[in-house]
A and B are shown apart, each in its own frame.
Chain A
Amino acid sequence: MRSFTSFVIKEFHHIFRDRKTLIVLFGIPVVQILIFGYVITNNFKDIGIAVMDQSNDIHSKGIQSKVFSSGYFIYKGAIRSEKEIESKFQRGDIRAVLVFPSKFTSDIEGSGSSEIQIITDASDPNLANTVVNYLSGIVRQYQVQKLGNGLQKSMMVVETRMLFNESLKGAYMFVPGTMALILLLICALLTSISVAREKELGTMEVLLVSPLRPAQIILGKVMPYVGLGFINAIVILLMGTLVFQLPISGSLILLMAELLLYIVLSLSLGIFISTMAPNQQVAMFISLFALMLPAVLLSGFIYPIENMPLVLQWLSYIIPPRWFIIIVKDIMLKGNGLEYIWDETLILTGMTVIFIIASIRKFKIRLEG
């Protein structure tokens, strides 16, 4: 036990004394999350909006003036009938249509509620989502200003319709996706490199000729990264929820447990890579090209799996992030419990077991075969 503890302490020394490792460990997650977040919220101004105002009264006019003075939206004309909506979208000069029902003001002041409809072009789901969020926010603000908080009953219900992509697949993808990528990168890349480094520097030779057992060496390499990977996951989650308003609808404990499972899976993958890689370059090459690229391209992170050719869809079955992204989305966005994601969880567990067994079998107690 004492030798194991000092092995883990040694690993922490390696990590905290190497600036490159630290940058990969703590710099990349923050930067990636910000990049993806920035891409999504970027250029959000002067969005073309058409208005179909069927009531033309105080509140409908009031809301419109708020919307078009916000700086985010530009007035692109009025629409008379529903038929016009689609052709206007197809011309591509508007991103959304704001629909006020007839008798808007009198409904609100009379029965206390009315509906505003926002129709968006969801062929760009992220933008559509942002448009809806901004418009809803402006309406809510207007409501508070004009009608006051006291009038609880007065409700302007914002109803949204996403045209062309009704279920809005792809939105909020970047946080689960980035999390899946970052954890894979940190856990697999850094552990495989750290084992390969011992081989390259010759220290593995000394470790082998010592009473340390292979399991101790492997666990000692893995342990620090379980902790650091978990810290990273929490940082990503916090940024996702605080900076980009991602909800966590499901159980936080379940989410943490799944995170831990995925971290252990990535680590065992890293150890498996290290059993094949004789030096740091090879370890990095395998991690980046054989792992990162499929993880980005085939996990459904950027390109929807449904749209892929069948062969690539099959290939995506062996990509761990594919399953992890489903799990995270289910828990965070849909609030689903384990009963909905047990099969994905089982797949990840199975992969972990396979990699661990393969690593132990392939771990060399000598310098060669």
Chain B
Amino acid sequence: MNLALSCTALSKKFGEISALQNINIDVERGELFGVIGPDGGGKTTLFRILATLLIPDDGDAQVLGFDSIKDYLSIRKRIGYMPGRFSLYHDLTVKENLQFYSSVFKVDIEKNYGMIASVYDQLKPFANRRAGKLSGGMKQKLALSCALIHKPELLILDEPTTGVDAVSRIEFWNTLDSLKEDGMTILVSTPYMDEANRCDRIAMIQKGELLYVDSPKSLIDNYSEPLFAASSLDRFVLLNRLEQVPWIDLVYLCGQEVHFVLRDVKHDKLLEYFKKNEWGDVTISQIQPTVEDCFISLMKTR
């Protein structure tokens, strides 16, 4: 069995609201697999099903070769799970939290220290500080240490970088890279599109539906539309104006720029159109799509 996990036709409803619909995902051992999507898309529900915390209404999930409903105890022993919210004990110190989780999993901190050394070493100066008083990035490092201390075969991280500063986010992903090199399978979710590039493969989820599963590279390679970025002094005015242009059919804000897909005409013609309407100083250039562009394109074509 080479698959770390495999979901077949997973569905889950909360009352009338459908949180997941017909999700099929296979993750191979040793993969760094990302689940990307906006808030409320169903990422947390999917992760909770895989962590045996929820029972799907339909379909089935195999985690490390075990059935997520019948063999939940076998799965719980073998995975490391980090929920979306910081869920360690605020009133315990950094060290006490780590000690608690290591004894819950019946492992020695010393013996398994190699596992967490790269993460925990940065926390060492704060070993006696209450976990509630740590910064966001530090909290995530502690939570990761606690999820790793028992050498899990599969690491399930639900939005580990949400609410963490940019530098800590990069550090966090570097840590995931080195864990992956040690052979660990990692399932991670994020609302940040730019983090998708750091995964081997990604699944895009929106409104409980799976939009796409593949590597970020082939996602971008498969993007065939002529994509442009425009910028001017007021990007909101620009957005409104571009929406009225007949040859443009996908316009959206992306950072400081406005991205759009231009069909049928060259962009010279568009510049002429701008001049005719006296829209002033607009710069336009054709660009390579990012994961976010692909996501929006996938979302709109649905």
A14 to B79, Cβ gap below 8 A?
no
Which residues of chain A have C-beta atoms less than 8 A from B104's C-beta? 3, 6-7, 207, 210-212
Whether A17 is near chain B, meaning CB under 8 Å from some CB there, is yes
Chain B residue at smallest Cβ distance from A367 = B53
Which residues of chain B have C-beta atoms less than 8 A from A202's C-beta? 83-87
B91 to A14, Cβ gap below 8 A?
yes
Chain A residue at smallest Cβ distance from B83 = A205
Inter-chain CA distance A3–B104, complex, in Å, is 4
Q: How far is the CB of B117 from chain A (nearest CB, A)?
A: 22
Contact mask B27-60 → A, CB, 8 Å, 1/0? 0000000000000000000001001111100000
Known contacts A10-B89, A13-B92, A205-B83, A367 near B48 by CB under 8 Å: yes
Which residues of chain A have C-beta atoms less than 8 A from B103's C-beta? 2-3, 5-6
Q: How far is the CB of A86 from chain B (nearest CB, A)?
A: 64
B76 to A209, Cβ gap below 8 A?
yes
Known contacts A367-B48, A367-B54, A3 near B89 by CB under 8 Å: no
Inter-chain CA distance A100–B106, complex, in Å, is 78
Whether A354 is near chain B, meaning CB under 8 Å from some CB there, is no
A-B contact count (CB 8 A): 81
With beta carbons under 8 angstroms apart, the residue of A10, A17, A205 that contacts B53 is A205
A210 to B85, Cβ gap below 8 A?
no
With beta carbons under 8 angstroms apart, the residue of B54, B91, B105 that contacts A210 is B105
Whether B99 is near chain A, meaning CB under 8 Å from some CB there, is yes
B92 to A203, Cβ gap below 8 A?
no
Whether B209 is near chain A, meaning CB under 8 Å from some CB there, is no
With beta carbons under 8 angstroms apart, the residue of B76, B100, B146 that contacts A211 is B76
Whether A368 is near chain B, meaning CB under 8 Å from some CB there, is yes
Inter-chain CA distance A14–B76, complex, in Å, is 25
Whether B90 is near chain A, meaning CB under 8 Å from some CB there, is yes
Contact mask B70-81 → A, CB, 8 Å, 1/0? 001100110101
Whether B292 is near chain A, meaning CB under 8 Å from some CB there, is no
Whether B96 is near chain A, meaning CB under 8 Å from some CB there, is yes
Chain B residue at smallest Cβ distance from A216 = B104
Q: How far is the CB of A58 from chain B (nearest CB, A)?
A: 71
A368 to B79, Cβ gap below 8 A?
no
Which residues of chain A have C-beta atoms less than 8 A from B81's C-beta? 205-206, 209
- Tell me the chain A residues, 306-330 only, with Cβ under 8 Å from chain B: none
Q: How far is the CB of A19 from chain B (nearest CB, A)?
A: 11
A209 to B51, Cβ gap below 8 A?
yes
Which residues of chain B have C-beta atoms less than 8 A from A203's C-beta? 87-89
Known contacts A205-B83, A208-B53, A367-B54, A17 near B91 by CB under 8 Å: yes
B72 to A13, Cβ gap below 8 A?
no
Which residues of chain B have C-beta atoms less than 8 A from A211's C-beta? 73, 76-77, 104-106
Chain A residue at smallest Cβ distance from B92 = A13
Inter-chain CA distance A194–B6, complex, in Å, is 36
Which residues of chain B have C-beta atoms less than 8 A from A366's C-beta? 52-55, 72
Contact mask A350-369 → B, CB, 8 Å, 1/0? 00000000000000011111
Whether A18 is near chain B, meaning CB under 8 Å from some CB there, is yes
Q: How far is the CB of B4 from chain A (nearest CB, A)?
A: 16
Most buried by B among A17, A206, A210, A365: A206
- Tell me the chain B residues, 195-237 only, with Cβ under 8 Å from chain A: none
Inter-chain CA distance A13–B90, complex, in Å, is 11
Inter-chain CA distance A7–B83, complex, in Å, is 20
Q: How far is the CB of A206 from chain B (nearest CB, A)?
A: 5
Chain B residue at smallest Cβ distance from A207 = B104
- Tell me the chain B residues, 145-180 only, with Cβ under 8 Å from chain A: 146
Inter-chain CA distance A56–B54, complex, in Å, is 88
Whether A201 is near chain B, meaning CB under 8 Å from some CB there, is yes
Q: How far is the CB of B159 from chain A (nearest CB, A)?
A: 12
Most buried by A among B73, B99, B100: B100
Q: How far is the CB of B156 from chain A (nearest CB, A)?
A: 9
Q: How far is the CB of A9 from chain B (nearest CB, A)?
A: 8
Q: How far is the CB of B90 from chain A (nearest CB, A)?
A: 7
- Tell me the chain A residues, 97-132 only, with Cβ under 8 Å from chain B: none
A210 to B76, Cβ gap below 8 A?
yes
Inter-chain CA distance A314–B27, complex, in Å, is 61
Contact mask A273-293 → B, CB, 8 Å, 1/0? 000000000000000000000
With beta carbons under 8 angstroms apart, the residue of B79, B96, B101, B106 that contacts A13 is B96
- Tell me the chain A residues, 1-35 only, with Cβ under 8 Å from chain B: 2-3, 5-7, 10, 13-14, 17-18
Which residues of chain A have C-beta atoms less than 8 A from B100's C-beta? 6-7, 10
With beta carbons under 8 angstroms apart, the residue of A2, A14, A208, A209 that contacts B89 is A14
B53 to A209, Cβ gap below 8 A?
yes
Which residues of chain A have C-beta atoms less than 8 A from B53's C-beta? 205, 208-209, 366-367
Chain B residue at smallest Cβ distance from A2 = B103
Chain B residue at smallest Cβ distance from A202 = B87
* Residues of chain A at the chain B interface (Cβ within 8 Å): 2-3, 5-7, 10, 13-14, 17-18, 201-203, 205-212, 365-369
26 of the cross-chain contacts (CB-CB < 8 Å) are A2-B103, A3-B105, A6-B99, A6-B100, A6-B103, A7-B100, A10-B92, A13-B96, A14-B89, A18-B91, A201-B85, A201-B87, A201-B90, A202-B84, A203-B87, A206-B81, A206-B87, A206-B146, A207-B104, A209-B51, A211-B105, A212-B104, A366-B53, A366-B54, A366-B72, A367-B53
The 7 tightest CB contacts between A and B, nearest first, are A202-B87, A6-B103, A202-B85, A209-B81, A17-B91, A367-B53, A205-B83
* Residues of chain B at the chain A interface (Cβ within 8 Å): 48, 51-55, 72-73, 76-77, 79, 81, 83-92, 96, 99-101, 103-106, 146
